[in-house]
Amino acid sequence: MPSGHARIVDRVTTRLKLKQLRLLVAVGKHGNIQYAARELNVSQPSATKMIQDLELDFEVKLFERTNRGVVPTPFGETLIRHGKLIFAQISNAAQELDDINEGSSGRVVIGTLLAASSHLLPLAIEMVLEDRPRLAIKVVEGTNEVLMPELRSGEIDLVAGRLPTHRYREELTQEKLFDEPILVVAGPQHPLAVRKALTFDAMREFGWILPPVETTLRRQLDQFFLRQDQYHPPFALESVSYLTNRSLLRSRDYIGLMPAHVAAQDIASGLLVQLDLMLPFGNGPVGVSYRRNVQLSPAGEAMLQALRRAAARIF
């Protein structure tokens, strides 16, 4: 007699319809079967029956009813996530076929964090285009909190940048390419720009441009502030926009943190200044993340290899 896993796989591969998965994803989005049914242009009884059939086929309860609608169970959340991945893969396949039909050599969507955006990713793109000049590339900028869910759902092929700590380890491969130091920077007009051997006390009166709260670097900085007599900056702005941050650092006496390679060119040209203070944290791994146990497309594999070559050239 087949195992439970084999029995479910055999049943689902012969019975599952994409419309059922579309409904499942829609119910997860709306938290309401009626709204999901309306989106798919089916009756509510039909939608309810489709969900029940899915529960029978997978032998789990997918949703709990509440007074405000329905909430996915852990089983439901898992199946919704895999459903989104299936539809993303179908969309990617259709897009890749279109690209090939139009003479392209494939398509890759890569997410980038600040640490990869100035040197690593541009160099990798140059390298991959030398081999695949008609490759279609889409770059999506954001934080790990935004990019990693899109990577897990298949909307993004790869994410390059500072690797998140202790998250997504079961579903993603996180490959370190190099360690990147973090610099304390300011504009050349800043009162501390020419001071040597700074102490943190000298910085207390100035405002800071901070990484977003969901980032590892921000958590490290917040813990450091707490150890400095529970310090709170007199002004704090959260931003991941390099151009905005650079402009504010040059027009205001703010202090910021930047990956060394991101700030290097502006420091060399005098647009920014590295303050003479070493924080007891900040060196962190920069690398590339991609879905585990899912084969990259030829275009995605080419970009991964280019990222590795670019990192080797930088260091």
d(CA 286, CA 283): 9
d(CA 226, CA 41): 54
What share of the chain has pLDDT > 70, as a percent? Answer: 95
pLDDT at 168: 60
pLDDT in tens, 173-198: 999 999 989 999 999 999 999 999 99
For residue 257, pLDDT over 60 is answered with yes
pLDDT in tens, 57-112: 888 999 998 888 899 999 999 999 888 888 887 887 787 777 676 655 688 999 99
Instruction: Indicate the pTM of the whole model.
Output: 0.69
d(CA 254, CA 205): 10
pLDDT in tens, 141-173: 988 888 998 998 888 999 999 887 666 667 899
For residue 2, pLDDT over 80 is answered with no
Q: Is the dihedral of CA 145, 148, 149, 155 positive or negative?
A: positive
CA angle 78, 83, 87 (to 5 degrees): 150
pLDDT confidence tier of residue 1, bands split at 50, 70 and 90 = very low
pLDDT at 16: 85
